Structure 1
Amino acid sequence: MTAFKLLWNAADRRARRDLLFAAVLAGAAELCAAGLLGVSGWFLTSCAVVTAQANTTWSWMYPSAAVRALALSRTGLRYWERLVSHRALLGATVSLRSRLVRSTTTVPARELRNRRDGTLMARLTSDAAAVGGISAQVVPPLAGIGVTATAVVALLLVANPLASAAELVLLATSAATAVVADRRTREHRKAAAAARTAAGTALLSARSALPELRCLAAVDVVRDQVAETVGRARQAEAAAAEVTRRARLLLRLLAAVGQATVLLLALSGPVFTQPAADAIGQALLVAAAYELMETLPQVLRDNGLAADAALRLADLANRTFSRGRPTASPPTLPPAGPTRALEIRQVPVGVGDDRAQWSAMIEPASVVVVTGPNGSGKSTLLQTLAGRIIPDAPGSVLVAGVPVESLPADVIADTLTLVEAEDWIADATVAENLRQAAPGADDNTLRAALAAVALEQLPLHTPTGPQGGALSQGQRRRLVIARAVLRAPAVMLLDEPTTGLDDRTAVRMLMGVRLVLPDSALVIALPDRHHELIPFSTTHTLRLQPCARQPLSTQG
C-alpha cells in the first residue's frame, strides 16, 4: 500500500478535497512565480533597450501592472496553499490515526503483547505523521514542479520549438537524476541503519556478558567488532551525503545548460533570432523551472520516508479499511451469558518436557484455583488462557467455541480480564487509574470497587506515582484488581492476588471480588499454602509442581 493510497483511504471527504485543492493552489502559485520572473526579466530588458533607443512611444504601464499582479498572486496563492495544505495535513493525520487506533482493537492479544516495547506507539505517532506529511511536503511541491515544467515547455514550444525540445530533454534528465540519486541514497541509509542496529545489539549483548568477556580476555575483540560496525555505518552515511551533494551539483549544472541553451537558440541564426528582451524573459522562465527541480531531491526523500512508514502501517491499515470501509469482519462471540464458557482442551500445564495435560469446562460462576510453588508455570497457564501465549495446539483454549488466539483484543477484553502479578499502573491518581476500565463511572462506583478489594481507606485523589511507586505492594495489587472488577468480565484471571497481603485482608479481598462478580468465572493462581485462604467453595483445584508430571486433582 503506497503512502498516498493509505492517506487517501483514511482521509474523510473534506481532507481529500483540501488535498486536491492544495495541489491546485501550489501549481498556480509556482506558475505565477515563474511568470513573474520571466515577465520581470523581459520588462527590465525592454526598458533598457527603449532607453538606449530613446523610444518615447513605448508604454511601461501594462508590463509593470503585470509584474505587480503576478507578484501579488504568487504571494496570495502561496499563503492560501499553506493554509489549505496544513489543514489537509491535520485532517488527514487525525483521520489516519483514529482509523489505526481502531484497527489495533482487532489485533489478537498476543500480538499486542509482543508490541509493548513501543513499536506500536511509534507506528501510531511517527509513522502516521510521516504518511500524513505528504499532504503538505510532497503533493503540493510535486504539483508545482509538474505544472511549471509543463507550462514552460508549452510556452517555449510556441516561441521556439527547438528550444522547447531541448528543455524537455534537460528537464527529464534533471528529474531522472533526482530519482536515481534518491534510490542510491536510500540504499546507503538503509545500510547505515542496519549497521547501527547491529552495533547497538552487539553493545547490549556485550554489556550483559561483560564478566565472561573479561575472563576470556575478549573485551578488545568485541570492541573492535563494534567499532568496525560503527565505521561501516559512518561510511554508508558519508556515501549517502556524497550522492546527495553530487546530485545537487549536477542539477545546478543542468540548470545552467538549460538557460544557456535557450539564450543561444533565441539569439543565434537567422531563423531563431529574437529580441533580446524576449530571449532574457525565456531564459528566466526556464530558470524558474530548474529552481523547482532543485527541490525535487528533498521532496523525493520525504516521499521515501512516507513510503517506508506506509509499509510498516500496512498490517494495521489492511485490517479495518479499504477505501475507508472494513475489509473483513473480525471474529465475534455470542452475547454475554452462560454460552460464554471457557473450554480447555488438553492444555499442557507445569514446566519441563514431561508436562501433564489439562482439560476442563469453566462455566459462569465457577471458581478454579491453580496452586504451586514459584516456577511451576502458573503465570504461563493464565497467559495462555488469556490468549497472550499461543497454545501448543491451536484451538486448545476456546471462548464460546472460538479459539482464543484468533480473537481480536477488543473481543477478548469484553470476556476475559487477566490481572498480572505486576500489572501496569499509570502515574496518575487512584480515580484516574480506575476510570481506565470504566471511563463513565462516578465516584460512588469507584469507591464501591475499592471497598470490594478491601481498599476503601484509600482516597480517590491519592497519587499513585510512577508505576504505582507511591503505593505499597498490597495496595498496588488490590488497585489493579479493583480496576478489573469495574470491567465485570465473564472470566477473570487473577495471578497471585494475595501476594503482599496479610491473611485477613486477603480473605476480605477474595470474598469481596466473589460478591460483586457472582456470575463471573474466577481462575485464581495462588502460591503454596495460600489456597487455604479461599473463603468460598471451588469448582476445580489444579496443583502444579516444577519439572515433574503432576496428576490433576479436582474438587467439587
Structure 2
Amino acid sequence: MTAFRLLWTAADHRARRDLLFAAVLAGSAELCSAGLLGVSGWFLTSCAVVTAQANTTWSWMYPSGTVRALALGRTGLRYSERLVSHGALLGATVSLRSRLVRAAATVPARELRTHRDGVLMGRLTNDVGAVGGMAGQVVPPLAGIGLTAAVVVALLMTASWPSGAAELLLLAFSAATAVTGERRTRGHQQTAAEAWATARTALLSARSALPELRCLEAVDLVRDQVAHAVRRARRAETAAESLMRRSKLLLRLLAVAGQTAVLVLALAGPAFTQPAADAIGEVLLVAAAYELMETLPHVLRDHGLATDAALRLTALAKRALPDEPSNVSPRRSPLAGAAGAALVARHVPVGVGDDRSRWSAVIEPGGVVLVTGPNGSGKSTLLETLAGLISPAAPRSVLLDGVPVESLSAHAIADSLTLVEAEDWIADATIADNLRQAAPDADDDTLRAALAAAALEQLPLDTPTGPLGHALSQGQRRRLVIARAVLRTPTVLLLDEPTAGLDAPTAVRMLTGVRRALPDSALVIALPDRHDDLVPFAATHTLRLSAATLSSRG
C-alpha cells in the first residue's frame, strides 16, 4: 500500500478537500514567485533599455503594479497554504490514527501479544505521523514544482519552441537525477541502518555472555564482528553523503545549463530574435523553476520515509475498513450478547515434556476450574491458551460462545474474557487511575467496592503506585489488577496464581470477594501446589499438573 493511497483512503471528506486546496495554493504561490522573478527582471532590463534610448513614452506603472501584485499574492498564498496544509496534516493524522487504533482492536490477541514491546504504539505514532506529514511536506511542494515547471515550459514554448523543448528535456533530466539519487541514497542508508543494528545486537549479546566468551577465548572474534559491522555502516553513510552531494551538484549544473540555453537561444543569430528584456525575464523564470527543482531531493526523502511507514502499516491498514454509512447498522460482534457464554476446551495440550496430555472441559457460567501444580508445570501456558494469547495446537480447540478463540479480535475477547497474569501491567499513576482503565466512568464508591472485593480496601484511591506499581508490595499489586479485572465484569475470569504474596486469611478473603462480586462469571484459577486449600468454594473442575503425573477431576 503506497503512502498516497493510505493517506487518501484514511482522510475524511474535509481532509481530502483541504489536501487538494493546499496543493492548488502551493502551486499558485510558486507561480507567483516565479512570475515575480521573471517580471522583475524584465522590468529592470526594460527600464535600463528605455533610459539608454531616452524613450519617454514608455510607462513604468503597469509593470511595477504587476510586481507589487505578484509579491502580495505570493505572500498571501503561501500563508494560506501553510494554514490549509497544516489543517489537512492534522486532520489526516487524526483520521488515520483513530482508524488504525480501531483496526488494532480487531487484531487477534495472540498477534497483539507480539507487540507488547511498544512496536505497535510506535507504528501508531511515528509511522502515522510520517504518512500524515505528507499533507504538509510532500503534496504541496510537489504541486508547486510540477505546476511551475509546466507553466514555465508552456510559456517558453509560446515564446520560442526551441527554448521550450530544451528546457523540457533538461527539467525532465533534473527530475530523473533527483529520483535516481534519492533511491540510491536510501539504499545506502538502509544498509547503514542494518549494519548499525547488527553491531548493537552483537554488543548486547556479548555483554550478557561475556564470561562464556572469555572462557572460549572468543572475545576477539566478537570484537572483529562488531568492528566489521561498524566499518560497513560508516562506508554506507559516507557513500550516501557523497551521492547526495553529487546529486545536488548535478542539479545546479543542470540549472546553469538551462538558463544558459534559454539565453543563447533567445539571443542567437546575427540579430536579436527577442528583445533583451524578454530574454532576461525568461532566464529568471527558468531560474525559479530550477530553484524549486533543487528542493525535490528533500521532498522525495520525506516521501520515501512515508512510503516505508506505509509499508509497516500495511497489515493494520487492511483491517481499517472505511466507516460505515450512518443509515447502516454496525455489524454484530461474534460475542454480542454473550453474557452467558461457555468456555469450551477440546483436547487442549497441558503439562510439559513427556508428561504432556490432553484436557477437555466445558466451563459454564458460574463454574470454577482449579488448576494446580508446581512452578514450570504449564499452568500459565494453559491460561494463555484459553485467553487466546497462545495459538492452540489444533484449530477450534478453545471455543468461547461457540467461536474459536484464536479467530476473535482483542476487542471481542476483552468484552468477555479477562486474564490476570502473574506480573500484570500497572501504570505509574494512582490506584483510582489504574482502576478506571477498566471502567472510565466508575465513581469512587464503585472503585472502593472493587478494592474491597480484592481485599484491598485499606488503600486510599489517591495512593500513588509508582513505576510498574513498585510503590506497592507484591501482594498489593496482585490484588490491584484483580480489582481492575472485577470492574470489567467479564464472562470468564482467568487468574494466574492470585494468592502469590498473600497470607492465607487475605487470600481466602480476596477469593471470596471475587466470587461474591462476580457470581455469574466462570473462574479459572491457577494456584501453586498446596494452595488449593485456600479456595473457599467448590470447584466444578480440578486439574492437577506435576512433573510426573496429570490428573483431572470434574
TM-score range, shorter chain: over 0.9
Preserved contact between residue 130 and residue 309 of structure 1 (Cα < 8 Å):
yes
For 2:54 and 2:532, how far apart are their aligned partners in 1? 111
What is the match of residue 405 of structure 2?
A: 404
User: Residue 164 of structure 2 corresponds to which residue in structure 1?
Assistant: 164
Write out aligned runs for 1:431-450 (5 A): 431-450=432-451
Change (3 A) 1:20 1:293: same
- SS of the residue aligned with 2:316? helix
Structure 1 position 142 matched with structure 2 position 142 = yes
Give the letter aligned to residue 141 of structure 1: P
For residues 166-219 of structure 1, give each alpha carbon's deviation from its aligned partner in whole angstroms, at most 9, with x where no partner exists: 000000000000111111111111111111111121112211211110111111
* Higher deviation after alignment, 236-245 or 316-325: 316-325
Secondary structure class of the residue paired with 1:358: strand
Aligned to 1:90: 90
Letter in 2 for 1:441: A
CA 1:335 to 1:303, structure 2 compared with 1: closer, same or farther past 3 Å?
same
Deviation (angstroms), 1:322: 4.8
Q: Give the deviation of 1:551 after TM superposition.
A: 3.4
Which residue of the partner structure matches residue 77 of structure 1?
Answer: 77
- 1:417-428 matches, cutoff 5 A: 417-428=418-429
- Mapped to 2, the partners of 1:268 and 1:10 lie a distance apart of 54
Q: Which residue number corresponds to residue 308 of structure 2?
A: 308
Deviating more after overlay: 44-53 vs 85-94: 44-53
Deviates more, 1:313-322 or 1:158-167: 313-322
Question: Within the alignment, does 1:366 sit opposite 2:362 as a pair?
Answer: no
Quick one: distance in 2 between partners of 1:27 and 1:394? 56
Whole-angstrom CA distance in 1 between matches of 2:249 and 2:376: 65
CA distance in 1 between counterparts of 2:551 and 2:418 reads 25
1:189 corresponding residue in structure 2: 189
- 2:83 alignment partner AA: L
- Deviations 1:440-476, CA, capped at 9 Å, x for gaps: 1000000000011111111001111111111111111
Counterparts of 2:213 and 2:283, CA distance in 1: 68
For residue 48 of structure 1, what is the aligned residue in structure 2? 48
Structure 1 position 320, deviation (Å):
2.3
- CA 323–179 in structure 1, closer or farther in 2 if over 3 Å, else same: farther
Secondary structure in structure 2 of the residue aligned to 1:41: helix
One-letter amino acid matched to 2:80:
W
Q: Is the 8 A contact 1:331 1:406 kept in 2?
A: no
Measured after TM superposition, the shift of residue 221 of structure 1 is 1.3
Q: Does structure 1 residue 554 correspond to structure 2 residue 553?
A: yes
SS in 1 for 2:79: helix
Asked if the contact 1:330/1:408 (under 8 Å) is kept, the reply is no
Provide the residue aligned with 2:3 in structure 1: 3
In structure 1, distance between residues paired with 2:190 and 2:64:
52
Alpha-carbon shift at residue 336 of structure 1 (Å)? 2.2
Paired with 1:183 and 1:34, the residues of 2 have a C-alpha distance of 29
Over 4 Å off, 4+ runs: 322-326, 328-331
SS in 1 for 2:488: coil
Question: Quick check: 2:426–2:469 contact (8 Å CA) kept in 1?
Answer: yes
The letter for the 1-side match of 2:389 is R
Question: Aligned equivalents of 1:228 and 1:286: distance in 2?
Answer: 48
2:498 alignment partner, SS class: coil
Contact 1:10–1:323 (CA<8 Å) still a contact in 2?
no
2:358 match: secondary structure: strand
Contact 1:334 1:400 in 2 (8 A): no
Cα 1:415–1:110 shift into 2, 3 Å: same
Shift of residue 419, structure 1, vs aligned partner: 0.3
Q: Compute the displacement of 1:271 (Å).
A: 7.7
CA shift, 1:248, in A, is: 0.5
Match of 2:492 in 1: 491
Amino acid at match of 1:554: R
Alpha carbons of 1:187 and 1:322: their partners in 2 closer, same or farther (altered >3 Å)? farther
> Matched residues in 1 for 2:387 and 2:272: separation?
81
Q: Which residue of 1 aligns with 2:382?
A: 381
Q: Note the C-alpha offset of 1:495.
A: 0.4
Contact 1:9 1:324 in 2 (8 A): no
1:230-309 pair list within 5 angstroms: 230-270=230-270, 273-309=273-309
Given that residues 16 and 88 in structure 1 are in contact (C-alpha distance below 8 angstroms), is that contact kept between their aligned partners in structure 2?
Answer: yes
Unaligned residue ranges in structure 1 (runs of 5+): none
What is the root-mean-square deviation in Å for CA atoms of aligned residues? Answer: 1.5
Q: Matched residues in 2 for 1:323 and 1:385: separation?
A: 32
1:324 deviates by 7.8
Task: Provide, for residues 17-73 of structure 1, a one-character-per-residue CA deviation record: whole Å limited to 9, x for no partner.
Answer: 100000000000000000000000001111111111122111111111111110110
| Per-residue deviation, 1:337 | 3.3
Aligned partner of residue 353 in structure 2, secondary structure:
coil
Deviation of 1:553 after TM superposition, in Å, equals: 2.8
- Using a 3 Å threshold, how does the CA distance of structure 1 residues 66 and 334 change in structure 2: closer, same or farther? closer
Identify if the C-alpha distance between structure 1 residues 21 and 413 changes in structure 2 by more than 3 Å, giving closer, same or farther. same
Match of 1:414, SS state, is helix
Please name the residue that 1:124 is paired with: 124
Q: 1:394 deviation in Å?
A: 1.9
Q: Is the 8 A contact 1:193 1:233 kept in 2?
A: yes
Structure 1 residues 471 and 323, CA gap change in structure 2 (3 angstroms): closer
Identity %: 74
Q: How does 1:309-324 map to 2 (within 5 A)?
A: 309-322=309-322
Name the CA distance, whole Å, in 2 between partners of 1:423 and 1:376.
20
The 2-side partners of 1:246 and 1:182 are apart by: 11
Structure 2 residue identity aligned to 1:526: L
- Contact 2:351–2:550 at 8 Å: present in 1 too? no
Q: Deviations over 1:389-431 (max 9, x none)?
A: 1111121111111111110001001111000111100000000
Is 1:473–2:492 an aligned residue pair? no
Amino acid at match of 2:14: R
Q: Report the AA paired with residue 439 of structure 1.
A: P
Q: Which residue in 2 is equivalent to 1:115? A: 115
**Alignment check: 8 A CA contact 1:188 1:236 kept:** yes
Q: Which segments of 5 or more consecutive residues in structure 2 lack a partner in the other structure?
A: none
Distance 2:323 2:485 in 1: 37
Letter in 2 for 1:552: S
Q: Counterpart of 1:337?
A: 339
Does structure 2 conserve the Cα–Cα contact (< 8 Å) formed by 1:265 and 1:272? no
TM-score, with structure 1 as normaliser: 0.97
**Aligned 8 A contact 2:435 2:484 in 1:** yes
TM-score (norm 2): 0.97
Letter in 2 for 1:150: A
Q: Aligned partners of 1:322 and 1:252: how far apart in 2?
A: 45
Q: State the secondary structure of the residue aligned to 2:313.
A: helix
Letter in 2 for 1:337: A
- Give the deviation of 1:354 after TM superposition: 3.7
**Aligned letter for 1:348?**
P
Q: Distance in 2 between matches of 1:506 and 1:170?
A: 81
Deviates more, 1:4-13 or 1:159-168: 4-13
**Paired position in structure 1 for 2:209:** 209
Give the match's secondary structure for 1:552: strand
1:518 is aligned to 519
- Which residue of structure 2 aligns with residue 179 of structure 1? 179
Count matched residues: 551
